Each structure stands twice: as C-alpha cells, then as structure tokens.
C-alpha cells in the first residue's frame, strides 16, 4: 500500500514540476509519508542549468520548512495524542529525548537525517519549542540535506554516475557507511529511555 501511495505522489508531483515539488515537500513535513527526495533527485538529474538546480534547492528547502510549521501547529494544538497515534512509542520517546538532550540541534539532526521530520515537528510543537529557532534549524538542516543531494546528483551527475560503476567506490562507501552507521545506530538506540 505504501508503494502505491509513493508511486501516486511521485507521479502526481513530477507532473507539476517545481509546484509539485513544493506541495510534496510541504505535505511530507506535515503528514504524508513520501519524502521529497524522490522528486529532488530525478529533477536534479534532468536540470538543464545551475539556475534550475538553485530553484529545486530553494523550493524543496523552503517548502519543507513551511510544511514543518503545519507539523509544529499539529503538535502545538493536538499535542501528544497525534504523536501517539502515528508514531511508534519507541520513536516518540527517542524524539522527545532528542529534543530534551539537544534542543535546537535536535531539530537540525532530524532535518538533515532520515528521522521523520514531521514527527519531530509535532514533538517540537507539543513541547512549545521556540518557533524562530525551530525554523532556523529546519532551514539549515534541510538546506544541507537537499543541497548535498542536488550538488552530487545535479552538479556532479555524470561524474557521480561514472563513480558508481567503479568497484572501489562501493568498497569505500561500504566502509564509510559502516563506520558511520554503527555509532549512529547505537546513539539513536540510546535515546530510547522510557519514562
């Protein structure tokens, strides 16, 4: 079912270009499960100029943060019931702990990582986090996330695709991924401190 939703959203969004990207980016940061990356990457590959890449970057970043304000409002007005209904209890506890331990930096961590940004927005809203700080951390984190994708795929697309064909590239990626994944997974699991 999630695959059908993903295909529908990506197909619909890609048919509307930057406007579709804006809607998918904003709605993902509030409620729907399809990440805008699924539009950012192909749009970046097809971009014909640096101006188009800049537009993709600005639209995805700003729309995602605008959408996260909707998630913040959900958390602010509905609070814990929304989080408890849509998030696993362990994820909810980890996000609470992420904000409790790291505050503003926690929003940045979620904005840059595959942590569900909408759930963090809900958590930040329910905890009444400072809105300006929330927006700034989101802009910075989402900017890095989408900026790196656009830079790698859009700007260095051909060179990057050639690197994908080299076995040494995959060896380096695997070693690097393991070196990062093991401590990050351990850190993420350590955030689960039931109350």
Cα angle 116-122-125, degrees, rounded to a multiple of 5 = 140
- 72 found inside a domain: yes
Any domain includes 83: yes
Q: Is 178 a member of any domain? A: no
pLDDT at position 195: 47
Residue 86: the pLDDT is 77
Query: Scanning the structure block, which residue is given the tokens 């695959």?
Result: 3
In sequence order, the 6+-apart residues with CB closer than 8 A to the CB of 5 are: 32, 33, 34
Is position 195 within any domain?
no
Domain that holds residue 12: 2-157
Asked, for residue 119, whether it belongs to a domain, the answer is: yes
Structural domain includes residue 190: no
Q: Please write down the long-range contacts of 43-48, taking CB distance under 8 Å and 24 or more positions apart.
A: 43/14, 43/17, 44/149, 44/150, 44/153, 44/154, 44/157, 45/153, 45/154, 45/157, 47/154
Residues of the chain with pLDDT under 50: 195
Domain for residue 188, yes or no?
A: no
Give the pLDDT confidence score for residue 194 in this predicted structure: 54
Q: What is the pTM of this model?
A: 0.81
Domain membership of residue 191 (yes or no) is no
Number of domains within the chain: 1
Q: Compute the Cα dihedral for 143, 148, 153, 154 and give only its sign.
A: positive
- pLDDT tens digit sequence for 52-63: 999 999 999 999
Instruction: Please report the pLDDT score of residue 5 as a whole number.
Output: 77
Q: What are the φ and ψ backbone dihedral angles of 33, each rounded to 5 degrees?
A: -90, -5
């Amino acid at each position: 079912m999630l695959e059908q939703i993903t295909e529908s959203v990506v197909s619909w969004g890609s048919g509307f270009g930057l406007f579709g990207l804006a809607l998918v980016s904003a709605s993902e940061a509030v409620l729907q499960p399809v990440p805008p990356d699924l539009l950012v990457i192909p749009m970046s590959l097809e971009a014909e100029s640096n101006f188009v890449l800049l537009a993709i970057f600005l639209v995805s970043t700003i729309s995602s943060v605008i959408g996260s304000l909707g998630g913040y409002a959900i958390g602010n007005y509905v609070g814990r019931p929304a989080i408890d209904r849509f998030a696993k209890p362990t994820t909810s506890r980890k996000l609470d702990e992420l904000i409790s331990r790291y505050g503003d930096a926690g929003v940045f961590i979620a904005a840059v990582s595959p942590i569900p940004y909408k759930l963090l927005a809900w958590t930040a809203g329910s905890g009444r986090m400072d809105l300006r700080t929330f927006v700034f951390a989101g802009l910075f984190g989402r900017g890095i996330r989408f900026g790196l994708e656009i830079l790698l795929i859009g700007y260095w697309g051909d060179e990057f695709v050639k690197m994908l064909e080299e076995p040494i590239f995959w060896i380096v990626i695997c070693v690097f991924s393991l070196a990062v994944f093991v401590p990050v997974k351990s850190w993420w699991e350590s955030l689960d401190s039931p109350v």
